[in-house]
Homo-oligomer: A and B are copies of this chain.
């Protein structure tokens, strides 16, 4: 049987659904409706039902969706049942914020180490971790379980460091450097560039 291919744009919405369901659960709720979720997210109820139906039948006609059950299913689908260990590359302001960031708790991630190439930063303590030497990046990450990295080095070095991450076995990179990374097609990359997001909005102002 051919595996159903899920559009990437649907995959992109699942974490939003999950986050919202966890929020409802934290409020003590047990059941929600596609309509309620839609209103909480500015998305049509039809789209939410269609997205979820690509993965299975998670709701009950006439009743809605059991929140805890749907959370469990989405965690399975997104592979966040366990916690992924994550490396931060670059111990600047963004890197520092990420090692201390509380928002990874219960979302499937835990920062595990941080690297920098600046000798003045190597060995200093940041958010509970000693900053490691970038020269040891490949070796250290390769001998760890880490498959995910967050890249916060300057744009000039980002491509080079990204290639070292791939060499070390990293499969997913959250890239804060303002540059497109050319990497093998099996490596996933997501981009965060505040200026790009802001310029997207100033178009309309």
User: Which residues from chain A sit less than 8 Å from chain B, CB to CB?
Assistant: 11-12, 14-16, 18-20, 23, 40-42, 77-80, 84, 86, 93-94, 96-98, 100-101, 103-104, 107-109, 147-148, 150, 155, 171-172, 174, 178-180, 182, 188-190, 192-205
Contacts and interface: CB of A to CB of B under 8 A. Distances in A.
Question: So how many copies of this chain end up in the complex?
Answer: 2
Contacts of A97: 93-94, 96-97
Nearest to A183: B42
A155 B101 CA distance: 13
27 contacts: A11-B203, A14-B199, A16-B196, A18-B199, A19-B178, A23-B179, A40-B180, A77-B203, A78-B203, A79-B203, A79-B205, A80-B202, A84-B202, A86-B198, A93-B97, A94-B101, A98-B194, A103-B194, A107-B198, A107-B199, A148-B198, A150-B194, A171-B205, A172-B204, A174-B198, A190-B200, A192-B197
Given A40-B180, A205-B147, A19 B101 contact: no
A155 B26 CA distance: 13
A81 B167 CA distance: 41
Contacts of A202: 78-80, 84, 108, 148, 172
